[in-house]
Amino acid sequence: MDAAHAQAFLRRPWDSLATLEREHWAREYARRGPTATLEVSRLLWEHMRRIRPDWPSEAERERDLAHHIALKRAIDRAARALAPLAPG
């Protein structure tokens, strides 16, 4: 990679690109529902397995599970905190 290519990459309008990506996925989700993101997830998983057949490693799986457990606990705490605010 030459320096000009690296500099051009760094000068990309990252905020605008992130906005465009969010808008794209909002439209896709509105049009196709959760199928859109599930399909892309499956395609990315298949791509990773083609370029790295050993992926995910046992350590990567353990980190991923730990992250999911922590996220679930955070969601549960938020749900309990918001429960008194729910109409009912």
The predicted-structure confidence for 64-77, as pLDDT tens digits, reads as follows 999 999 999 999 99
- The answer to whether residues 35 and 66 belong to one domain is no
- The answer to whether residues 40 and 68 belong to one domain is no
Domain count, the chain: 2
The whole domain housing 45 covers: 12-55
- The answer to whether residues 63 and 33 belong to one domain is no
- The answer to whether residues 50 and 73 belong to one domain is no
Q: Which residues contact 29 (CB under 8 A, 6 or more apart)?
A: 36, 37
Task: Tell me the whole-structure pTM to 2 decimals.
Answer: 0.58
- The answer to whether residues 33 and 60 belong to one domain is no
Whether the CB-CB separation of 55 and 46 falls below 8 Å is answered with no
In a domain, 17, yes or no: yes
The pLDDT profile of the chain, 88 residues, written as one tens digit per residue, is: 789 999 999 999 999 999 999 999 999 999 999 999 999 999 999 999 999 999 999 999 999 999 999 999 999 999 999 888 777 6
- The answer to whether residues 64 and 34 belong to one domain is no
